Structure 1
Amino acid sequence: MQYWAKSSIAVSVLLAGCSMFDGSQGDATAPQRSVESIKVPAGLQQPARPGQFDIPATDAAVADVEIKAPSLVLATASSSRVEEGERLARVWFDRNDFTGDLIPFLQQALTAQFAEQGVSLQQTDEKGLEYTTGWIKRSDETGFWFWKSTSETEQARFKLLFEPRPHGRSASLTVTMLEHEYFVAENKLAGREAHRQEVALLNQIIDRVGKEEIAVALANKAKAPDVSVEPGLDSDGNPALLSSQSVDVVWSQLEAVFTALNLTVTDMNRSAFTYYLDYQKPEQGFWSSIWGNDAPIQLPLQEGEYQLVLKRNNNGTAMTIQNSSGEALSADTVLALHDPFVQAVRQARVEL
């Protein structure tokens, strides 16, 4: 099986350097502009002005309006999604090929995330669905080189809650701020700033889940494929290599194996499932030996022309190897071919 990861998994790596705190600031001192009425030159008629759009005068006190952009939950992991209209700092995860059992996978990602940040994480229930973080601190650096100093500006603690569905294939993660302390007046929470900090931390966790998914995908890709090829007999009683795959699957993947074995396809007959091959013993190049590359696979055959015929059998496909005259090779030769053939299948990363 070939493994792939959604492009959204790779995007999650770009968020690795983000801070757990949302440091975006809006410019509250930006000058306000008023729209002047249209000036009509003398001799022209004033255009009509519908009154339903006029703003009535009021004696109400002027309130500060938050001008920061809304914070967004970024579902960058392939297993993550955000429900439309969600108002909490919450994301949903769905089980896929990379997560396996969902809750243990998310718990591992959560532990790795806070261990990397040097923040304590305490489990507060028996099932491992509720956690409380230690103080997550934010600092500012001043000066440079030997005169550089760091001062803390704020810190916060959060509650993390997993809520799995009864079927176990989906679970939500909600982040809630428990406490906040500030050491600089400008970092006092105002408006929806607490929600912004919750979303910033949640995005960090989603990013970690995406990294864990990528690690699983790469490990699966590097894993050697299972090979079902075994020595046996074809339907005519000739020695052959047997595969559990169908004849069409075997036919479509053999050319990659031929390349690994230094077999050249000179002709083929698709209707008879026959490959006509030429074998030349491979030689390891000078630079390959210098750099320590693996030696090429050697077949226990003489150089020359051969035929490989595929035949259907009860358990899949029989691969009968014949000489240029169409005579099947001996059982001893087929047994000797089995190990290098399996090695070539794994090197070609195909399923046979």
Structure 2
Amino acid sequence: MLNYQKTIKILSLSIASALFVSACATSDGTEDIDDSYMKSPKGPQLQLPPGNSEIKATDSYRVPEGAVITQRDAKGKKLSLEPPQLLLIAGDGVWVDTERAEPTVWIRASESELIAYIERFMNSQSIAYQEPSNDSISTEWVVTDGESKISERLGPYHVDNQRHKFSLNIVDKKPNEVALQAKHLAYQQEKDEQWVDVDTSERVAKQFLNYFVGYYDSERTREARERILQQAKIDVELGYNDQGSLALITEREVLAVWEQLPRVLTALNLEITDHDRSERTYYFNVKEPDDGFWSWFGDDEDAAKVELDPGSYQIKLFELSAGGTSMNFYGAEGNLLESNIITRIYPEVSAEFKRGKGTN
């Protein structure tokens, strides 16, 4: 009888243990492990050894004199995840002022010139602005809604609708240089159909300054290119040289015409055979017309673009007593071409000189 009861008790314990283990093994694991520490029991308090009423710091753990320990709030979630914004300096004559708190660059220009460039920038980018002063221009509200030109410049990728106010201010000057500073005056975001004020940002001020500096550099580059092309253009007219012979006349100096002559002759399909700089003379040749198959279709791309008979010619440059340069045309033997021939070739030669290098 005793053995039977003992067997029953062992069997009951075995079944209970199996059920417990089975329950643990089949748990769905829905318990939030991250919050489990909140249910942890409070541990025992630190006890001082017998015979001690206070803890004495040894020399190796002494707090330095003058040290101040303060309470600091957690900053982690308040920090911006955006990368830092640098001032991107392009072109010559622009450099960053690293000593000022607000984003500032030095630009090689006068105050009036720079204000004029800023106005052109505002107008070209469709940015409304207030009446400028001698050293400052402030914008009206600039909306960045994904459709305006400025949207991609300020990177509103995290906000559907926002608007800003900026100012560009001349805050210092040196001989031939001025310091231009950008300020982010106001910032609002649209929430629930209401504009809500947001803290202004030095980062956004830098982006706006970069926006202007990029425009300024591109405009200066374009203007420089236009000046170079304009200098390459030469206005040529029919006139008379100092000896009274009909020639092509220009107000430009001999050197400018001399440098353009190779391009002009080549463009007119007049083959240059030689030149003499000391005599200011270019020698060129007009080829015989092509009598081949393609001549029937008028498709001779190498034919001269002026009405000159085949043969060798010269063009000589002379300084005029009244200023400017005359271009006189001669045949192979050095005989001055007749006036009717000069009149005939004038339109093409004049047009090519006026075209200038690099223009179409």
TM-score range, shorter chain: 0.5 to 0.7
Contact 1:281 1:299 in 2 (8 A): no
Contact 1:102 1:169 in 2 (8 A): no
With 120-129 and 330-339 compared, the bigger mean Cα shift is at 120-129
Match of 2:52 in 1: none
Q: Please, which of 179, 199, 204 is the counterpart of residue 206 of structure 2?
A: 199
Contact 2:171 2:181 in 1 (8 A): no
Q: C-alpha offsets along residues 112-148 of structure 1, whole Å, 9 cap, x if unaligned?
A: 33x3xxxx63416677943244265589xxxxxxxxx
Contact 1:124 1:132 in 2 (8 A): no
Match of 1:158 in 2: 165
Q: Quick check: 1:280 aligned with 2:287?
A: yes
The one-letter code of the counterpart of 2:116 is P
Q: Quick check: 1:262 aligned with 2:269?
A: yes
Tell me how far 1:107 sits from its aligned partner: 0.8
Match of 2:347 in 1: 339
Tell me how far 1:178 sits from its aligned partner: 3.2
Q: Quick check: 1:91 aligned with 2:99?
A: no
Distance 2:245 2:223 in 1: 43
TM-score if structure 1 supplies the norm length?
A: 0.58
Call closer, same or farther: CA 1:107–1:164 in 2, change over 3 Å: farther
Q: C-alpha offsets along residues 136-194 of structure 1, whole Å, 9 cap, x if unaligned?
A: 5589xxxxxxxxxx98478453331433889997555433233445689xxx989xx82
With 201-210 and 249-258 compared, the bigger mean Cα shift is at 201-210
Percent identity over the alignment is 21
Match of 1:112 in 2: 124
Distance 1:225 1:337 in 2: 21
Aligned residues: 269
Distance 2:352 2:204 in 1: 53
TM-score if structure 2 supplies the norm length?
A: 0.57
Q: Quick check: 1:59 aligned with 2:48?
A: no
Q: Which runs of 5+ in 1 are unaligned?
A: 1-54, 140-149
Secondary structure class of the residue paired with 1:327: coil
More helix as a share of residues? 2
Secondary structure class of the residue paired with 2:201: helix
Distance 2:255 2:226 in 1: 29
Contact 2:239 2:248 in 1 (8 A): yes
Q: Which runs of 5+ in 2 are unaligned?
A: 1-62, 147-156, 192-196
Match of 2:326 in 1: 318
Tell me how far 1:60 sits from its aligned partner: 3.3
Distance 2:303 2:118 in 1: 43
Secondary structure class of the residue paired with 1:276: strand
Secondary structure class of the residue paired with 2:115: helix
Call closer, same or farther: CA 1:338–1:168 in 2, change over 3 Å: farther
Distance 1:256 1:125 in 2: 47
Q: CA RMSD in A?
A: 4.6
Distance 2:227 2:243 in 1: 39
Which protein has the larger Cα radius of gyration, Structure 1 or Structure 2? 2
Distance 2:317 2:225 in 1: 33
